[in-house]
Structure 1
Amino acid sequence: MTGSTAALSPARSWWAIFVFMIALMFNYLDRQLLTLLVTPIKADLQVSDTQISLLVGFAFVLFYVLAGIPVARLVDRGPRKWIVGFGIFFWSLMTAVCGLAHSFWQLALARMGVGIGESCNAPATYSMTSDMFPRDRLAQPMSVIGIGVVAGSGMALLVGGWLITWLTEIGPQSFPLVGTLKPWQMTFIIVGLPGVFWALLLLATVPEPPRRELAGTQTPGFTSVIGYLWGLRTTYAPMFLANGIKAMLSFGIAIWSPVFFERKFGFAPGEPGPILGIISLIVSPIGLLLGGYIANRMAQAGYKDANMRMVWLVTIPLIPVAIFYPLVESVTFAFILFGASLFLGSMGSGPANAAIQAITPGRMRGTTTALYIAIYNVIGYGLGPLIVGMLNDNVFGESGVGYSMAALACFAGPTGLIMAWLALKPYRRAIIAAEARGD
């Protein structure tokens, strides 16, 4: 017996998916804008590649993780859309505050604030989506939401590249109260503020869906959730690790790609951004939609492990592409391989998120998603860029950033592939159990 609240109409559900997608676009736009501003920030703040990696990764990830668990407990109990709305408002504001930084530590503190705000997004968004669509059709809306990831990353490169180029031409500007701001600082402020208005739109138009679970179901305690996950550790552990290590490969390479083109092929700061952004905006949505569509078709054809099977399959061709992309000597070929790596990586993104939601009981989804996102971000967004930065500083030098990226791919690609393969059979059994529960 399910709850008594009527389910949302398809139109309202898909409108919510659109709003979630744009919110996630702002999420990754604000998160990854810094990657395009590495050169001017290094020059102005006198920081190393390792410090840049910390700003991009762990300064953001640390507080994302610390705030994520208590936020997730609220997601499993309370009105989820208000959690998402507050998160969008706060991370957008803190992105603008990044533009007021005049030292490494000031910028690091602002990035921590961005992490706190963004920790509200994924657990609530995925929990709501899982209550809007049936399990065997979940990969497609998850993939549509995932377009926000690649759109945000692409817009960070495209809009950020144009902005930094234009603002560099006009030079530093003086403003009341805040004083003189340099081009990279103004870029943060201009990009950060629109998200505030999107938060208000979400709160005004997105409904709170009824939770799909047995009537009277109580929200389990944190230790109960941990106990449940531990009992299914042979299922969740390889899934979490496979997706996290795959993210290490994707983020480590993508975040350093603008710098790679600047250092290896002589582009000016911000100049490769529009090209990389256009490539991302073209190939990644196609990959996301195609990956979600194929996973849905596989599930409808009887493949219980369709979501994780999709993650495993796309990682096979991704490995050689990711290794050879930063090693080629042709700038045109490098752009082509960059696009191929984004396309292949994006095909597994929606199914990977759907896989976690599909096997997790409704009142545990927020906490489980937060734990998953914590592991995903620490391994992917924290370690991926950091490994490349440390290899730059200690092994290959700044001009050898391509070798650092290739070295990361040689380790992360095969390791992620093995973890995805190990997840297939346990995930299949977990899907069968979830269907039997009916949640």
Structure 2
Amino acid sequence: MALATVTTADPTDAGAVSPIRQTAWRAVLLVALIVMAAGTVRLAFSPLQEAAKADLGLSDYQISLVQGLAAALPMALIAIPLGWLTDHTKRTRLIFILGLTWTAGMIGTAFAQSFEALFVARMLAGLGSMSVVPVAISVLADLSLPQSRGRAMLFLSMGNTLGPALAFVGGGALFTAFAAGGSLPGVQLSAWRETALVFGIASTLLMLPLFFLREPARHEVEDSSNSLNAMIRALWARRRFLAPLFVGQISVIMADAAAGVWAVPVLQRNLGQSAGTSAALVGGLLLFAGVIGPVIGGFVADRGHRSSVRGGILIGAVAASAIGVPAALFPLIGSVPAFTLVLFLLLASGAVTGLITATSIAVLIPNEERGVCLGAFMILGALIGLGLSPVLVSLGSQALGGEAHLAPALALVGVVTSILSLVGFILAMRNAPDKPVAG
């Protein structure tokens, strides 16, 4: 049985498609489930990285490359072509191919025996899991009415943040169980490798619901031309809005990515927490932030969109990014409860801005330009947000005197990027289009 009531349409004949009459909530939930699986794979290595570092004899700098540039570089190369494919081909097929990619990378992580092999495995895992988000946003936009898109994006954003939460909580619990003597039947691997293998198997099973997702018809198409140059020129015409919007959200990604990679090591090294406890703590924070942040962001985005304020859809992003500036100081806190509270504020703020940014693109950018717009965002977000920030933290700690200075380096990167995000969202709000794309 198909989960969407909307019909499939040829992208080149989008102008003939009648307006969507209702949001296909069952299909929205399915897309959110797939994004959750991708998010789990994306950060599944984070709670295991200290054990893998010791097992493979890696440095903090090598870990930062595995956690950052490994996924960022290849994703940046395919982002624009993937965006064009998103706008002009069957998106459900793209999601399936990306799912195969991240699953192969997760299984490869379990069997990597060197830095180079681990780099390639995490490259595949990150390439597939991070590339699926803009494709999913495009699908979700055509499954929902414009006036309910913020709430529809809420489910996608929750999936995108609940996945990493499951990675930390599940990864910490599995690692602790395997380290205590448990083992998969017929498998003789170290604890961190068996944990990675479980995630790979689970990812394979979670791909099965994709067979029930039908390609939705495309709506709100202004121009049916397939010209990539024409779409890039159209996006360039919106640069006064898109450029600061990108700066705002990419800076948030930098702060969140740095925290996602290095929060667990800081808890272990500076606050004396075990691997399982640290992973469970960060996972719990991601879980709550992944629920509360998107709920706030979704309703604030819809309410702001209905207001008469120019760029009102971004009001919540401005407020959340302002909260993120002091919250980025969490690594310097010496008690676990206070560390937990402040890190939660940072992660929740990031979840709010991410939801609002995605909704803004889905509402204010024409359908035929969304994929390329998100593709451009992927390039910058991957190279700068995800690829650069973990490396900046490791280089910063070296500049401050060595790996023992990880916490102040993480705080410095977080505060600077959070300030940039606040400035970016303020400018994006001021330069937002006067009128949204018609629904």
2:94 match: 83
1:280 match: 286
Residues 201 and 8 (structure 1 numbering): CA distance in 2 closer, same or farther, change over 3 Å? Answer: farther
Match of 1:112 among 123, 128, 151: 123
Match of 1:152 among 154, 160, 163: 163
2:175 match: 164
Does the aligned pair in 2 maintain the 1:220–1:364 contact within 8 Å?
no
2:154 match: 143
Q: How does 1:122-133 map to 2 (within 5 A)?
A: 122-133=133-144
Instruction: State the one-letter code of the partner of 1:358.
Output: V
Residues 276 and 118 (structure 1 numbering): CA distance in 2 closer, same or farther, change over 3 Å? Answer: closer
Instruction: State the one-letter code of the partner of 1:47.
Output: L
Q: How does 1:18-37 map to 2 (within 5 A)?
A: 18-37=29-48
2:239 and 2:225 map into 1 onto residues whose CA distance is 21
2:196 match: 188
CA positional deviation for 1:317 = 1.6
Residues 20 and 214 (structure 1 numbering): CA distance in 2 closer, same or farther, change over 3 Å? Answer: closer
CA positional deviation for 1:2 = 6.6
Instruction: State the one-letter code of the partner of 1:182.
Output: S
2:10 match: none
Secondary structure of the structure 2 residue equivalent to 1:170: coil
1:301 aligns with 2:312: no
Kindly report structure 1 stretches of 4+ aligned residues shifted beyond 4 Å: 1-11, 171-176
Does the aligned pair in 1 maintain the 2:310–2:429 contact within 8 Å?
no
1:203 and 1:85 map into 2 onto residues whose CA distance is 9
Instruction: State the one-letter code of the partner of 2:110.
Output: G
Match of 1:402 among 387, 391, 407: 407
1:266 match: 272
Does the aligned pair in 1 maintain the 2:398–2:405 contact within 8 Å?
no
Deviations 1:134-185 (A, max 9, x none): 3333222112210012211111110000011111112788957xxx522111
Does the aligned pair in 2 maintain the 1:140–1:350 contact within 8 Å?
no
Match of 1:209 among 202, 216, 220: 216
Deviations 1:172-208 (A, max 9, x none): 88957xxx5221111111012222232221222x221
1:428 and 1:281 map into 2 onto residues whose CA distance is 34
Residues 207 and 5 (structure 1 numbering): CA distance in 2 closer, same or farther, change over 3 Å? Answer: farther
1:218 match: 224
Does the aligned pair in 1 maintain the 2:310–2:430 contact within 8 Å?
no
Residues 9 and 161 (structure 1 numbering): CA distance in 2 closer, same or farther, change over 3 Å? Answer: farther
Does the aligned pair in 2 maintain the 1:41–1:184 contact within 8 Å?
yes
Residues 331 and 119 (structure 1 numbering): CA distance in 2 closer, same or farther, change over 3 Å? Answer: closer
1:128 and 1:5 map into 2 onto residues whose CA distance is 15
CA positional deviation for 1:304 = 4.2
Instruction: State the one-letter code of the partner of 2:354.
Output: S
Does the aligned pair in 2 maintain the 1:248–1:412 contact within 8 Å?
yes
CA positional deviation for 1:221 = 2.0
2:207 and 2:221 map into 1 onto residues whose CA distance is 31
2:280 and 2:217 map into 1 onto residues whose CA distance is 41
1:200 match: 208
Instruction: State the one-letter code of the partner of 1:112.
Output: M
Residues 128 and 290 (structure 1 numbering): CA distance in 2 closer, same or farther, change over 3 Å? Answer: same
1:329 and 1:263 map into 2 onto residues whose CA distance is 12
Q: Which moved more, 1:257-266 or 1:21-30?
A: 21-30
Does the aligned pair in 1 maintain the 2:40–2:163 contact within 8 Å?
yes
Instruction: State the one-letter code of the partner of 1:197.
Output: L
Q: How does 1:376-387 map to 2 (within 5 A)?
A: 376-387=381-392
Deviations 1:276-295 (A, max 9, x none): 21232123311211121122
Does the aligned pair in 1 maintain the 2:323–2:345 contact within 8 Å?
no
CA positional deviation for 1:410 = 2.5
Residues 81 and 116 (structure 1 numbering): CA distance in 2 closer, same or farther, change over 3 Å? Answer: same
Residues 284 and 198 (structure 1 numbering): CA distance in 2 closer, same or farther, change over 3 Å? Answer: closer
Please, which runs of 5 or more residues in structure 1 have no aligned partner? none
Match of 2:358 among 345, 350, 353: 353
Does the aligned pair in 2 maintain the 1:161–1:270 contact within 8 Å?
yes
1:124 and 1:402 map into 2 onto residues whose CA distance is 35
Does the aligned pair in 2 maintain the 1:122–1:370 contact within 8 Å?
no
Equivalent pairs counted in the alignment come to 427
2:307 and 2:374 map into 1 onto residues whose CA distance is 27
Instruction: State the one-letter code of the partner of 1:191.
Output: F
1:243 match: 249
1:425 aligns with 2:430: yes
Does the aligned pair in 2 maintain the 1:71–1:119 contact within 8 Å?
no
1:393 and 1:246 map into 2 onto residues whose CA distance is 23
1:314 aligns with 2:320: yes
Deviations 1:233-289 (A, max 9, x none): 211111111110111111112321111100111122233111221232123311211
Instruction: State the one-letter code of the partner of 1:146.
Output: S
Secondary structure of the structure 1 residue equivalent to 2:180: helix
1:373 match: 378
Q: Which moved more, 1:298-307 or 1:53-62?
A: 298-307
Please, which runs of 5 or more residues in structure 2 have no aligned partner? 1-12
RMSD: 2.2
Q: State percent identity of aligned pairs.
A: 24
CA positional deviation for 1:4 = 4.3
